[in-house]
Amino acid sequence: MSQKIRIAIQKSGRLNEESLQLLKDCGVSIDNGKDQLKATARNFPLEVLYLRNGDIPQYLRDGVVDIAILGENTLIEKGKDLPILERLGFSKCKVSLAIPKGQKYDSVKDLEGKRIATSYPNTVKEYLASKGVTADLHIINGSVEIAPSIGLADAICDIVSSGSTLFKNNLKEVEQMLTSEAVLTVSPSITEQRQQILNTLKFRMESVLKGRNFKYVLLNIRNEKLDKIIDILPGMKSPTVLPLAESGWSSVHSVVDKNKFWDIIEELKAEGAEGILVCPIEKMVS
C-alpha cells in the first residue's frame, strides 16, 4: 500500500497513552520523539497526528486526518455529524453538572437562570432545553472547577472521572448528563484506498478489544460432573474437554466474559472444579 492512513490522537494525557497502547497491541510500531506533533508507523501504513481533542472533529471534516480516537463527549459536543465506528472501552468518564457543596439542590429546575461555567456549551444547552431550563452559560477552556469559588458562576459542567477534582474544589455532582469513553471515528472524505487500510486496522482493534473482554479458563473436573460444568461455561461454541492421565478426570478449557468472571468461578468451585487456571487473552480473532 503506497498511501498512509492519517489518525488523530489527543496530544497528551490518559487518552493519548491508552490510544497509543491500543495501536501497539494491534502490532503498530510508532516512532515517538519528544514533543513531536507527527509520527509515522514503522510497520503499518499509518501516520499519527497529535492534536487538541476539541480540534479533531474539524480536522476530520476538512479531510486533514482520515480517522481519530477521541472522547465520545467531544464528539457529542463538536462532532455529532461524525460516526462512531468502534467503542474502545477506555478513558471512561461522565459529563456532569456540579454546584458548591453547601448549596441546596432538589432538581435541575434549581439551575433556572443560574450562571454555569463549562467547556461543553452545546451539551449543556441541549440537556437543559430537554428539561425546560434556561441558564446563562460562561464558556471557559480550562479549569472550570474554580469558577464558583471566584464568583464567576453558580454551577459548572465538566468531565468527572473519580470525582476527586470536584471534592478538592468543594463541589458536588448533581446531574449526570452523559457517559463517555474513547471512540474511533472517520472522516466523511476518506478515500477508498485509505478505507481499505482502515478496515485492516479496525479488524485488529476488534480482535484486541474482544480479547480484553474475556479470560481463558482451564480446570480439572471428575467426569461425573462434566455435564454440570459444561452448562456453566459458555465458551465460544462449547468448552474444550480433554481426558487427563488420571482415570475418571477431564480438563475443561473455555473463555469467560470478564464481567461475569467471578460469579462463574464461584459456580465452578461449588460443582467441584479443581486446579482452576485463569489466563489473559491477548487477542481474539473471529
pLDDT 10s digits, 146-175: 999 998 999 999 999 888 889 899 999 999
β-sheet bridge partners, residue 218: 253, 277
Whether residue 234 has pLDDT greater than 80: no
Whether residue 33 has pLDDT greater than 90: no
For the chain, the average pLDDT equals 93
H-only helix segments in the chain: 14-25, 56-62, 72-78, 121-130, 164-168, 192-212, 226-232, 261-270
| Domains, the chain | 5-90+181-211 (3.40.190.10), 93-180 (3.40.190.10), 214-280 (3.30.70.120)
**Residue in 212, 237, 241 with CA at minimum distance from that of residue 228:** 241
For helices 192-212 and 14-25, the axis angle rounded to 10 degrees is 100
Determine the distance from the C-alpha atom of residue 263 to the mean position of all C-alpha atoms in its chain, rounded to a whole number. Answer: 24
- pLDDT tens string 60-99: 999 999 999 999 999 999 999 999 999 999 999 999 999 9
Q: How far apart are CA 70 and CA 14, in angstroms?
A: 11
Question: What average pLDDT score do residues 117-135 get?
Answer: 95
Q: How far apart are CA 30 and CA 39, in angstroms?
A: 7
All three cell numbers of 93: 468518564
- pLDDT tens string 169-221: 999 999 999 999 999 999 999 999 999 999 999 999 999 999 999 999 999 99
pLDDT at 1: 45
pLDDT at 2: 62
Name the residue with cell 502490532: 27
- Contact call for residues 59 and 7 (beta carbons, < 8 A): no
